């Protein structure tokens, strides 16, 4: 196989900044990424941002099908030339944020797909949230992101890096910060260090949530102003629908002092708090008697995934919509 660096030269590819193009040119790092993805012959892999195909070429011989998504037509042409002869590779010229992922991931056999990619850094968080939205169709993901984002996703409560992306993704996935990749491994060199992360979606969320939408809104509200207390942040969020007089009590029930800041709370605590507030909002008896509350039946009946995916917004769902407004993403 010709080295990655040579492919770029051979095709005279000029990196385009608007697509966050920074091509991996180190074949050892590429092998390490593919190794981390733990690919099997029966796997169907979705590669995001295939570029000139350094990962694509390595993965194609190892898997059943490879769906390679790339937005830039000049690179699609390169991919077609370099990997197009393999009939298990499907090259899709598309924007990963606009693609109908539900249909794509549900097709090509029933198994959950593996996701791999050295993804465009400008839209990494959006991509992660789209994967979260479609997590039931995904087994795992191995992705190259900015080191800063990798640190944020794996941050512990009480640290500055701990925030909305940490909480929402940790609720549904185990996240590993696998290894770092320095700028000289890329062309052009990025200004930041990169990291390869892994995401394995849990069978069940860390806490069984009675209303996922509420949880997302709560997390967003709780971190809205990081220096404010949780009580003040939640008070400023009428969309949570919790009565002011209930708030202190609910916080106490979760063993929380209202003067604490959201960044001190674990993912589990935020999940439990959302459940308490949801129950209170419905005017139902809390925790122990869960399930008897008014309105619970109908809401429970709704497909949980629909809460995430939403409709009429290109299938991006509430998480992505919310994310676009996040100050600290």
**Dihedrals phi, psi of 84, to nearest 5 degrees:** -65, -20
145 binds ligand SAH (CB under 6 A): no
7, 13, 22, 78: residue in contact with ligand SAH (rule CB under 6 A): 22
How many residues touch ligand SAH under the rule CB under 6 A: the total is 22
Q: What angle do CA 303, 173, 322 make, to 5 degrees?
A: 60
Q: Which of 37, 55, 68, 78 binds ligand SAH (CB under 6 A)?
A: 55
Query: Which of 38, 48, 41, 40 is CA-nearest to residue 68?
Result: 48
Q: Which is nearer to ligand SAH, 21 or 195 (CB)?
A: 21
CB of 120 or CB of 317, closer to ligand SAH: 120
Strand partners, 65: 44
Q: Both ends of the chain: CA-CA distance in Å?
A: 39
Give the shortest CB-272-to-ligand SAH separation in angstroms.
36
Task: Confirm if 8 and 77 have CB atoms less than 8 A apart.
Answer: no
Q: Is 58 in the site for ligand SAH (CB under 6 A)?
A: no
Contacts of 201 (CB under 8 A, 6+ apart): 135, 136, 138, 139, 140, 172, 173
Question: Using CB atoms, what's the residue nearest to ligand SAH?
Answer: 49
Of the candidate residues 7, 13, 21, 169, the single one contacting ligand SAH (CB under 6 A) = 21
Smallest gap, in angstroms, from Cβ of residue 56 to ligand SAH?
8
50 or 275: whose CB is closer to ligand SAH?
Answer: 50
Residue 262 CB, shortest distance to ligand SAH, in Å, is: 31
Q: Is 50 in the site for ligand SAH (CB under 6 A)?
A: yes
Smallest distance, ligand SAH to C-beta of residue 86, A: 17
Q: Which two tokens stand for residue 244?
A: 């002011």
Q: What whole-number distance in Å separates Cα of residue 274 and Cα of residue 269?
A: 9
For β-strands 138-146 and 194-201, DSSP reports them as: antiparallel
One residue of 24, 137, 173, 307 binding ligand SAH per CB under 6 A:
24
* Cα–Cα separations (whole angstroms), residue 293 to 9, 215, 240, 286: 65, 18, 18, 8
Measured in residues, the chain has a length of 329
Among 36, 37, 43, 49, binds ligand SAH (CB under 6 A): 49
What's the closest the beta carbon of residue 105 comes to ligand SAH, in angstroms?
15
Nearer to ligand SAH, 179 or 284 (CB): 179
Instruction: Say how many C-beta atoms besides its own lie within 10 A of residue 123's C-beta.
Output: 17
Nearer to ligand SAH (CB atom), residue 51 or residue 163: 51
The secondary element (H helix, E strand) that includes residue 308 is: helix 304-309
Q: Is 201 left (phi over 0), alpha (psi -120 to 50) or beta?
A: beta
Cβ of residue 37: shortest distance to ligand SAH, in angstroms? 13
- Could you tell me the smallest distance in angstroms from the CB atom of residue 93 to ligand SAH? 9
CB 194 within 8 A of CB 168: no
Binding mask 63-102 for ligand SAH (x = CB under 6 A): ------xxxx--x-------------------xxx-----
Q: 187 by DSSP, 3-state: which?
A: strand
CA 290 to chain CA centroid, Å, is: 30
Name the token pair of 252.
Answer: 């106490």
User: Which residue number, 78 or 256, has a Cβ lying nearer to ligand SAH?
Assistant: 78
From 49-57, 173-181, 242-250, 260-268, span contacting ligand SAH (CB under 6 A):
49-57
* Residue 51 or 271 having the CB closest to ligand SAH: 51
CB atoms within 10 A of CB 107: 13
Q: Which residues bind ligand SAH (CB under 6 A)?
A: 19-24, 49-51, 54-55, 69-72, 75, 95-97, 118, 120, 123
């Amino acid at each position: 196989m010709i080295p990655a660096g040579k492919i770029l030269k051979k095709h005279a590819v000029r990196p385009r900044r608007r697509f966050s193009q920074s091509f991996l040119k180190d074949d050892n790092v590429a092998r390490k990424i593919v190794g981390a993805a733990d690919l099997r012959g029966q796997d169907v892999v979705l590669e995001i941002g295939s570029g000139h195909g350094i990962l694509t070429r390595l993965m194609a011989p190892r898997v059943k099908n490879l769906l390679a998504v790339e937005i830039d037509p000049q690179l699609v042409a390169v991919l077609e030339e370099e990997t197009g002869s393999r009939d298990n590779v499907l090259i899709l010229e598309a924007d990963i944020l606009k693609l109908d992922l539900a249909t794509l991931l549900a097709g090509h056999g029933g198994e959950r797909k593996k996701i791999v990619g050295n993804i465009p850094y400008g839209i990494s968080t959006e991509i992660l949230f789209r994967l979260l939205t479609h997590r039931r169709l995904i087994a795992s993901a191995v992705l190259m992101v900015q080191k800063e984002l990798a640190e944020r996703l794996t941050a512990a409560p009480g640290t500055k890096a701990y925030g909305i992306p940490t909480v929402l993704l940790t609720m549904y996935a185990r996240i590993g910060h696998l290894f770092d990749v320095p700028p000289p491994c890329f062309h052009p060199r990025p200004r930041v260090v990169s990291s390869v992360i892994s995401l394995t979606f849990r069978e069940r969320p860390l806490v069984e949530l009675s209303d996922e939408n509420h949880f997302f809104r709560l997390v967003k509200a709780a971190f809205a102003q990081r220096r404010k207390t949780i009580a003040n942040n939640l008070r400023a969020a009428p969309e949570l629908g919790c009565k002011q007089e209930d708030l202190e009590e609910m916080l106490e029930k979760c063993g929380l002092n209202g003067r604490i800041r959201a960044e001190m709370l674990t993912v589990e605590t935020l999940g439990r708090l959302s459940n308490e507030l949801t129950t209170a909002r419905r005017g139902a008896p809390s925790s122990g008697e869960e399930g008897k509350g008014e309105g619970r039946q109908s809401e429970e009946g709704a497909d949980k995934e629909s809460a995430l995916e939403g409709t009429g917004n290109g299938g991006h769902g509430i998480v992505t919509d919310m994310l676009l407004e996040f100050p600290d993403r």
